[in-house]
């Protein structure tokens, strides 16, 4: 474990780590602050339902992943990555200045434009980040680096959401939010100045600027590489799974646990810390090797603890108070609550064991010349699976009229089916992928 953190002494790792950490943190400060402003201020001012505004916000952030991921992958393969990263951070700084104007003057249309542009920024940064790691890291560092990146992303998302909540409680909150997102974007740009030059993998590539034909071509290319295709499906399933649980956390906290905002943050913290610890352990458990040996344990845990969450919630001895919402200390004294908390922690822990081997495999077995485009294709599928997750939850909860615990149960059972299918397919095509990678070297 100690050796894993030694990577922070290497500029080639730490510069990109802090660049991506600050980017993910800023994304979530901005998104969460905007959602809170829409929920508590904008909806009443402009006479639109909160759910419509929040769903519009979610759609605008994810839309660029559909539109630009394949193009972003081409650009990341064609150009040197440290310069590209600096350009994306200059773009982020510009967008945050636009967002600051939107917050200060309460121009909500401008904030929606900034949100779409931030989604675009994240779309272009993703392929750079994940294609950079296998170039900059040694072979025995790749799993550890991915574990740290996954830990950093989980914590950045969590801390960003908490900070956004705190900022919205301050006097002159819109000014504080504006200043924060600009300062963090500036710090992210400073971090990029320390990223070493990383040569382009295919400098002669002719970029196809037609976002529709290039998206289709990228997906077709991925489909022709069966092992990587199923790795990407596995990655995207994790986004489906995580979105299904995390999107329901506020309602789960309020409706089932009768909890206040502090309980929401506590539940998100349990899940995020679980993901972080599971991700960090992958290096030690795989002995630094890119391997799928942890994948079955991740699949099993994701199903086992989702199913147990259904039973633990069903057996919860909770007396709902209509006078006030419970805080964390109130719930600690409720019989059965610790089992619920343990389930959420180990769901995150299992997710870390599941996702790190898949990301490391995607980087290790992707053809060097097309590595960023594979990441771009991965982002397209991630976006699709997240949208499907939202539709799935609506069908389960609103159409079929099942409860939230039943949604968790159904998701856990589906994970068994998908997980067995995925593991069989990956093992079937792994040997071919190893041969192709060896021949390419």
Q: For residue range 91-132, list pLDDT tens digits in order.
A: 999 999 999 999 999 888 899 899 999 999 999 999 999 899
Report the candidate in 355, 399, 362 with the shortest Cα–Cα distance to residue 377: 362
pLDDT at 47: 59
Please say if the pLDDT value at position 34 is more than 90.
Answer: no
pLDDT digits (tens, 9 = 90+) for 392-416: 888 888 889 998 899 999 999 999 9
Percent of the chain scored above 90 by pLDDT? 59
Q: What is the mean pLDDT of the chain?
A: 89
Predicted pLDDT of residue 41: 67
Under 8 Å between Cβ of 76 and 128: yes
What CATH superfamily is the domain 9-194? Answer: MFS general substrate transporter like domains (1.20.1250.20)
> 82 or 330, which is more confident?
82
Distance CA 378, CA 111 (A): 28
Which tens digits make up the pLDDT trace of 15-25? 999 999 999 99
Q: Is the pLDDT of residue 161 over 90?
A: no
Q: Which superfamily, per CATH, for 218-441?
A: MFS general substrate transporter like domains (1.20.1250.20)
9-194 and 218-441 in the same fold: yes
CA 394 to chain centre: 21
Range 3-13 average pLDDT: 87
For the chain, what are the domain ranges? 9-194, 218-441
Q: Write down the pLDDT at residue 58.
A: 76
Whole-number percent of the chain with pLDDT over 70: 93
Confidence at residue 328, expressed as pLDDT on a 0 to 100 scale:
86
pLDDT reported for residue 32: 85
Which pLDDT tens digit goes with each residue over 423-439? 999 999 988 877 766 55
Per-residue pLDDT of 44-67, as tens digits, reads: 566 555 556 666 777 888 889 989
Least confident of 26-40, 251-265, 319-333: 319-333
Asked if pLDDT for residue 440 goes beyond 70, the answer is no
Q: In this predicted structure, what is the pLDDT of residue 320?
A: 62
Residue 321 scores a pLDDT above 80: no
């Amino acid at each position: 474990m100690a050796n894993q953190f030694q990577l922070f002494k290497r500029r080639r790792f730490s510069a990109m780590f802090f660049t991506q950490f600050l980017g993910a943190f800023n994304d979530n400060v901005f998104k969460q602050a905007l959602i809170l402003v829409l929920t508590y201020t904008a909806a009443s001012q402009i006479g639109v339902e909160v759910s419509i505004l929040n769903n519009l916000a979610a759609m605008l952030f994810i839309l660029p992943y559909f539109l630009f991921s394949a193009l972003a992958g081409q650009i990341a393969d064609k150009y040197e990555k440290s310069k590209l990263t600096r350009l994306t951070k200059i773009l982020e700084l510009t967008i945050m200045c636009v967002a600051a104007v939107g917050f200060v003057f309460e121009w909500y249309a401008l904030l929606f434009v900034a949100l779409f542009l931030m989604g675009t920024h994240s779309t272009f940064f993703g392929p750079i980040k994940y294609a950079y790691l296998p170039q900059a890291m040694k072979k025995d560092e790749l799993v550890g680096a991915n574990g740290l990146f996954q830990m950093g992303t989980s914590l950045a998302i969590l801390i960003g959401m908490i900070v956004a909540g705190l900022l919205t409680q301050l006097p002159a909150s819109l000014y504080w939010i504006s200043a924060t997102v600009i300062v963090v974007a500036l710090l992210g740009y400073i971090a990029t100045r320390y990223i070493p030059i990383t040569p382009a993998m295919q400098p002669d590539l002719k970029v196809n600027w037609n976002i529709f034909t290039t998206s289709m071509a990228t997906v077709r290319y991925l489909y022709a590489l069966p092992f990587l295709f199923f790795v990407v499906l596995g990655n995207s399933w994790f986004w489906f799974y995580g979105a299904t649980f995390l999107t329901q956390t506020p309602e789960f906290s309020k409706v089932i646990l009768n909890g206040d905002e502090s309980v929401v943050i506590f539940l998100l913290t349990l899940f995020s810390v679980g993901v972080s610890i599971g991700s960090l352990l992958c290096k030690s458990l795989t002995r630094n090797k890119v391997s799928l040996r942890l994948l079955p344990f991740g699949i099993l845990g994701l199903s086992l603890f989702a199913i147990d969450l259904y039973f633990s919630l069903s057996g919860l001895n909770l007396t709902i108070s209509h006078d006030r919402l419970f805080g964390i200390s109130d719930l600690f004294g409720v019989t059965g609550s610790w089992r619920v908390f343990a389930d959420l922690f180990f769901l995150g822990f299992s997710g870390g064991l599941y996702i790190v081997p898949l990301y490391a495999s995607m980087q290790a077995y992707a053809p060097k010349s097309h590595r960023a485009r594979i990441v771009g294709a991965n982002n397209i599928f991630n976006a699709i699976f997240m949208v499907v997750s939202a539709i799935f939850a609506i069908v389960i909860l609103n159409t079929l009229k099942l409860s939230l615990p039943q949604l968790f149960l159904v998701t856990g059972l589906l994970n068994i089916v998908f997980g067995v299918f995925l593991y069989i397919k990956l093992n079937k095509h792994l040997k071919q992928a190893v041969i192709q990678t060896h021949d390419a070297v």
